[in-house]
Amino acid sequence: MKRSRTGAGADGGTVDVLGVGFGPANLALAIALAEQPERRRDVLFLEKRDRFAWHPGMLLPGTSMQISFLKDLVTQRNQVSPYSFVAYLGARGRLVDFVNRATLTPERAEFADYLGWVAENFADDVRYGEEVVDIRRSPDGPRFLVTHAGPDGTERVTGARSVVVARGLRPVMPGWAGAHADSGRVFHNIELLPRLAALEPRLPRGAEGARILVLGGGQSAAEVALHLHDLGAAVDLAFHGFGLGEVDESPFVNQVFDPQVVDEFDAAPPAVREELLRRHGNTNYAAVEHALTAELYARWYRESVTGPRRLRVHRTSEVVSAERSAGGGVDVTVRRTTTGEQWSTAFDAVVCATGFEPGSLTGLAGVAPAGSDVRVSRQHRAVVDGHEIEGLYLQGADVPGHGLGATLLSNVAIRAGEIVSALEKEESP
Ligand SMILES: Cc1cc2nc3c(=O)[nH]c(=O)nc-3n(C[C@H](O)[C@H](O)[C@H](O)COP(=O)(O)OP(=O)(O)OC[C@H]3O[C@@H](n4cnc5c(N)ncnc54)[C@H](O)[C@@H]3O)c2cc1C
């Protein structure tokens, strides 16, 4: 079913629509554009990875999606699309076996394979290994000039009538971690698997004999702690809160991710939005699924009965200092905020499951100089310092304006359709 829409994107050329990033958000857009065959556009996506991948550093064995497969790239918008998760299951010959699993949430590895299958269908519309380093408005010709750097660092410029930026999330690291950036011993959880693979040969007994500090109290921290414990490591899990909070999975609360809620959110007074984000943040942020919390607690308790202790959990804790240790690891001092008590230990590695922030337009100074206030209009156009920029669309960047689903998969199908409608309006004479 591989298809080519345009063959566009020659160096120095001009396209109608240029997508920055080729993750799920812009994959959904590629589908929505392709499903409008009466409108022929030159389309090009630029993706900095050298091939399609979806959070490969966190494809931990057995981890599941936190969203129904019916919120795939297309089904919410078009139930008869050939790019649905169900179509993928059919193509892979697993539909019947999947049905017998009797759950709406596939494992993460399977969903990543689905996304890769869709991406393969759009291979002619994407150039991998191309990082967009700037976007600026053009005084004449195409509306935007997009500068991108290839694998050899050579920069090229492509003109575009419209640009859709979907750069996903950027990892947030604690300030002290900067001093360890090149050590290979302190890293963000989003890089877990490749970093562990690089570190293991440097440890006398590999991961099994390692002692690793995991920082954070959310789903990622819990998944990482469990994975490292499975590998045989001694794991210290430290977080600011009193305990690991649980994800709110109530169906009524989950309506906060419904597509039409974006309108309700958009219309609400800012103070009400803020209150809703605060009240329902635990649908996704800094919260852990019940089954995972229960498993961690069971292991922690079992070790109190049988020993030896390999899982240590440190509540109300913060890192005070982290120094390179003589043995090559990291000497970390942690403070208990409730008691003021401090302890220090040499760790082989520190995994910072310390969250993310939207990639937004950060660093793309031609359209958003450093320090600009970047928001997103209801039509998904970038609003920089209060000015809506015609032709520049931004996906997954505005939680305060678009609600808790903005950075998630919840609305990618509907949002892609809305962007295509907005493009259409802009194109009309
Ligand atoms: C481990 C993990 C699990 C998750 N699980 C779920 C889940 O179960 N359900 C859910 O709803 N959400 C989940 N999320 C949230 C996640 O944000 C979405 O799943 C999804 O990845 C959002 O798609 P996206 O296209 O906006 O961003 P991304 O998937 O991050 O894709 C953005 C792409 O843009 C590329 N890029 C960035 N900057 C540039 C540039 N300057 N030039 C070119 N390319 C660039 C990146 O390389 C990347 O491929 C999860 C997140 C993580 C980290």
> For the residues 294-315, what does the mean pLDDT come to?
97
Q: Looking at ligand 1, which residue's alpha carbon is closest to its atom 18?
A: 408
Supply the pLDDT for residue 286.
83
pLDDT of 11 above 70: no
Ligand 1 near 131 CB (within 6 A): yes
Terminal C-alpha separation, the chain = 34
305 CA distance to ligand 1 middle (Å): 41
Ligand 1 near 219 CB (within 6 A): no
Q: Which residues contact 250 (CB under 8 A, 6 or more apart)?
A: none
pTM across the whole model = 0.95
Distance CA 396, CA 25 (A): 8
Distance CA 218, CA 239 (A): 9
- With the most atoms of ligand 1 within 8 angstroms of its CB, the residue from 46, 50, 55 to mutate is 55
238 CA distance to ligand 1 middle (Å): 26
What share of the chain in percent tops pLDDT 70?
A: 97
The string of DSSP letters for 297-356 reads HHHHHHHHHH----EEEE-SEEEEEEEE-TTSSEEEEEEETTT--EEEEEESEEEE---E
Q: What is the average pLDDT value for the chain, to the nearest integer?
A: 94
- With the most atoms of ligand 1 within 8 angstroms of its CB, the residue from 54, 128, 399, 408 to mutate is 408
46 CA distance to ligand 1 middle (Å): 14
Residue with tokens 């050298």: 50
24 CA distance to ligand 1 middle (Å): 7
Ligand 1 near 408 CB (within 6 A): yes
Ligand 1 near 166 CB (within 6 A): yes
Distance CA 69, CA 83 (A): 12
Which atom of ligand 1 is least distant from the CA of 25? 25
pLDDT tens digit string along 22-34? 999 999 999 999 9
Distance CA 417, CA 420 (A): 5
- With the most atoms of ligand 1 within 8 angstroms of its CB, the residue from 27, 64, 135, 169 to mutate is 169
pLDDT tens digit string along 352-383? 999 999 999 999 999 999 999 999 999 999 99
Supply the pLDDT for residue 37.
79
- Give the least confident one: 77-81, 136-140, 162-166, 226-230: 136-140
Ligand 1 near 66 CB (within 6 A): yes
Supply the pLDDT for residue 284.
82
Supply the pLDDT for residue 427.
87
Q: Which residues contact 421 (CB under 8 A, 6 or more apart)?
A: none
Ligand 1 near 399 CB (within 6 A): no
Of the candidates 359, 334, 379, which has an alpha carbon nearest to the alpha carbon of residue 135?
A: 359
Ligand 1 near 188 CB (within 6 A): no
> For the residues 316-338, what does the mean pLDDT come to?
95
Which atom of ligand 1 is least distant from the CA of 169? 30
pLDDT of 129 above 60: yes
| Joined tokens for residue 63 | 């981890």
* 114-137 residues labelled b (16+ CB within 10 A) or e (exposed): bbebbbebbebbbbbebbbebbee
